[in-house]
Amino acid sequence: MKRIAIVGGGISGLSAAYALEQQRRAGTPVEYVLFESGSRLGGVMVTERAEGCLIEAGPDSFLTEKPWAIDLCRQIGLENELIGSNDSERKTYILVNGKLVVMPDGLMFMVPTKILPTVFSPLFSLRTKLRMAREWFHPPHRAEHDETVAVMVERHYGAEMVDRLADPLLSGVYGGTAADLSVRAVLPRFAEMESKYGSLGRAMLAARRKMGANLASRPLFTSLKQGMQQMVDALVARLPRPSLLTHSPVNALTRRADGWAVSAGDRSDHFDAILLAVPAGVAAALLRSSNSELAGELSGINYTSSVTVNLGYDGKVRSFLPPGFGFLVPRSEGKRLLAATFVHNKFPHRAPEDRALIRCFLGGAADEQILELSEEQIIGIVRSELRQIIGLGADPLFIRVYKWKKAMAQYGVGHLERLERIERLRQNLPGLVLAGNAYRGIGVPDCVRSGSDAALQLLSSFGLKAAPNADKVSQPA
């Protein structure tokens, strides 16, 4: 029997536990214990309710295009609970010179693929529109080294595109800035498209044609009727309770000839292997005594902090708000708000007809200080900026503020090379695997995949083949 310790009970650690549980129930000789420092499981995935509204404190959905979270939901009995974003209502605004300007039709991420809507859009200056036309003839280019997203986007479309689209879109996903994030790690498709086609516009159009009807029929975002927490609850229900230890911060890992000693509080236990599903800085601290070089690489992965503020209003505000999913705020506008989502429009099952729900996003690489402010100060900023941007002065029925300290990993230039070094160093520590949002994707689907891949990687390192019928074991424990 092989014993595995999973450290961290966010979606990465829970996905790892679920993969091991499937194997265990299918007869693989493996057992595991998951250590979570907090009082609850799920990490940043937290759903709450107020006044009939469903509030997401952390992630609100996942990209439909990345299949791993949806596949997991299906396995754990949530197939009928999956919901798509209301894409017929999709309309996103960008704040430009204090006014909301709608993003033109045909933009794929930040790449324009339709000529007319882009030509007539007030989002871009004439100079940027001319750059877009020229971009069509951009020769294939393969950057010798990794570079920032800002450098690449500027090469194609100029600085205005970085400010008005690349930066706000990336700060919504990574809490990072285009000037810091690595193209190869964050937008690997862009780097490939540039080397093959030259023009990102032509490459996107070709990709769009290939996807055809498939693209049109799928919603961009997927979530769950009862919120993201529903996924956590369904996973936990399928795992044996004694294997899940909350209030159990792991404070030391010691490498032994025959495995690892795990210390959590005043308890120490022996395991054959360790699956670390914690932020990279925590993994670094736990591994420092086993391999300081590996710890150094892990602590080089930066994180940013963010704050989400959910405000619920009555039906009058719902009819007052502009149609669409919400707006993004470029930093050049001088605001602290990075984005606001009109949740009642974006997804069904989020707010009753007579309620409006707005979710605001603040913080990120350029505004770590927001975390130091009190809830009252943050609420003051949010309400004042909502008044300035959309003229919303009404009193909310409720407000919920959530602070997430250093929760979003930043993939800086050279991230992929760092991952190669981490992998080489990890191999010197048999029985250790890493999962989580620090490595190959920070979205929920990537974390699901990283957790279950890490679990299967451990089994194969023990010479235990994944049981072929394990996928069918999906009933509650």
Residues in contact with ligand FAD by the rule CB under 6 A: 7-13, 35-38, 43-45, 58-62, 249-250, 277-279, 282, 306, 308, 404, 407-408, 436-437, 442-444, 447
Shortest Å, Cβ 175 to ligand FAD: 8
Three-class SS of residue 447? helix
Roughly what angle, to the nearest 10 degrees, separates helices 229-237 and 68-75? Answer: 50
Taking the least distance from each CB to ligand FAD, the nearer of 47 and 306 is 306
Taking the least distance from each CB to ligand FAD, the nearer of 291 and 388 is 291
- The span from the first CA to the last CA of the chain, in angstroms, equals 20
Own/partner pairs, 118-122, CB within 8 angstroms, 24+ separation = 122/96
Shortest Å, Cβ 359 to ligand FAD: 10
Taking the least distance from each CB to ligand FAD, the nearer of 200 and 275 is 275
Taking the least distance from each CB to ligand FAD, the nearer of 197 and 347 is 347
Taking the least distance from each CB to ligand FAD, the nearer of 8 and 312 is 8
Shortest Å, Cβ 128 to ligand FAD: 28
Positive or negative, the CA dihedral 108, 114, 115, 121 is negative
Shortest Å, Cβ 408 to ligand FAD: 5
Shortest Å, Cβ 179 to ligand FAD: 21
Distances (CA, A) of 119 to 107, 123, 132, 200, 327: 12, 10, 9, 17, 21
Three-class SS of residue 408? strand
Taking the least distance from each CB to ligand FAD, the nearer of 39 and 80 is 39
Alpha helices in 300-443 (DSSP H): 315-320, 343-346, 375-390, 415-426
Three-class SS of residue 101? strand
User: Are 199 and 141 spatial neighbours (Cβ–Cβ below 8 Å)?
Assistant: no
Shortest Å, Cβ 399 to ligand FAD: 16
Q: Which of 385, 11, 325 is nearest to 172 (CA)?
A: 325
Taking the least distance from each CB to ligand FAD, the nearer of 107 and 286 is 286
Count of residues in the chain:
477
Shortest Å, Cβ 17 to ligand FAD: 11
CA 225-53-398 angle, to 5 degrees, is 155
Taking the least distance from each CB to ligand FAD, the nearer of 203 and 409 is 409
User: Are 56 and 29 spatial neighbours (Cβ–Cβ below 8 Å)?
Assistant: no
Taking the least distance from each CB to ligand FAD, the nearer of 37 and 148 is 37
- Tokens at 332, concatenated: 């050049």
Shortest Å, Cβ 38 to ligand FAD: 4
Distances (CA, A) of 468 to 4, 144, 255, 459, 473: 21, 42, 32, 13, 11
Shortest Å, Cβ 61 to ligand FAD: 5
